[in-house]
Structure 1
């Protein structure tokens, strides 16, 4: 039986190359889109924002925006995921630097969360207000990733209890109280106020160590 030669083979079909819009290539369009979406969602809410206004705010055409995002739903999810990834990264860096001591690790975690809530206050408030507007599949994915944060804090507390550094009989309540007060910073903190971030962090670390009943 004759074999099929190279000349008889079906030609390889080239996949169409999806070109980046010129405006995105030149101007860092992703950052512009995220920045505009953050500002408009914060100002008008998810339902009050239009994809056209976001594109205009980013200085891009609609086609350039749609190159990256299918619409508002995907864009909202991307904003929330980006902020969450930043939060986790800050926690991981802080915990690596803190070493093995349970009190130092708890303090590092609290510092990372409080500083994040101040630094990304708008993103924190967006997550609080707009998470309910995520469609079920995206909401489930986001919540699953977000819930790793309280689990991380609980691991720190459990380790401290196991090693005798923390003697609280209520680790669940301590975990919820610590994370709750740290997350709430975004709702009330005023950078122009009398309380500086470092002083706020010091107070929250003190409160957290009190909640877990730290024994030096």
Structure 2
């Protein structure tokens, strides 16, 4: 039987179960959840709010997501997977030079935090509202992304291109700076996205003490 959060009741299975929604139902639900979570936060959002914003019935929403918690976890998982895949592509194209790889990883992170600003903030701010089972499962994805940065900086130190005495602190500083962009950057402002990415690549290279 489907599950429901405190804001609604899932339909029973069997003869009374809803028909499979057609068209862009799942996309509409995802978009609606993203918008309302950003506006009101997880606890300020009901499952009915999401269904109404998506233009769907509760039964149609429950076909895709049995609870509000399930929907939040799916959204965070998609966001994290998308970022990880973009990082993989950027590093593959960058080659083997540690400085080039750091530039690529910083650039793709800056672009991601700007291009998916709302989703990035949801993943950060609503992480605490994931239930332990979902948080534990998704923490593995986060650790994989963290390991990309750690391995890259360690390789640069090993090759003598990065001279930072504390690689873990360098990694944390770079990642924190890039992630914070989602909270303050306004597209169309004084800094263009290419300029912003270039600034942050230079900042990152200084943090790891890269010497030309």
User: Which is higher, the Rg of structure 1 or of structure 2?
Assistant: 1
CA shift digits 1:23-51 (9 cap, x unpaired): x32x2111111000001111111111111
Q: How many residues align?
A: 198
CA contact (8 A) 1:164 1:215 kept: no
CA contact (8 A) 2:106 2:178 kept: yes
Partner residue in 1 for 2:8: none
Mapped to 2, the partners of 1:62 and 1:162 lie a distance apart of 56
Mapped to 2, the partners of 1:106 and 1:21 lie a distance apart of 49
Partner residue in 2 for 1:111: 107
Q: 1:168 aligned to 141, 164, 167, which one?
A: 164
Alignment of 1:172-183 (within 5 A): 172-183=168-179
Mapped to 2, the partners of 1:100 and 1:45 lie a distance apart of 41
CA shift digits 1:44-78 (9 cap, x unpaired): 11111111121111111111111111110000001
Give RMSD over aligned pairs: 1.6
Partner residue in 2 for 1:65: 61
Partner residue in 2 for 1:121: 117
Partner residue in 2 for 1:8: none
Alignment of 1:27-66 (within 5 A): 27-66=23-62
Alignment of 1:129-208 (within 5 A): 129-208=125-204
Give 4+ residue runs of structure 1 displaced > 3 Å after superposition.
Answer: 19-22
TM-score, normalising length: structure 1 = 0.87
Partner residue in 2 for 1:81: 77
Mapped to 1, the partners of 2:182 and 2:165 lie a distance apart of 29
> Could you tell me how far 1:20 is from its partner in structure 2?
7.8
Mapped to 1, the partners of 2:80 and 2:198 lie a distance apart of 23
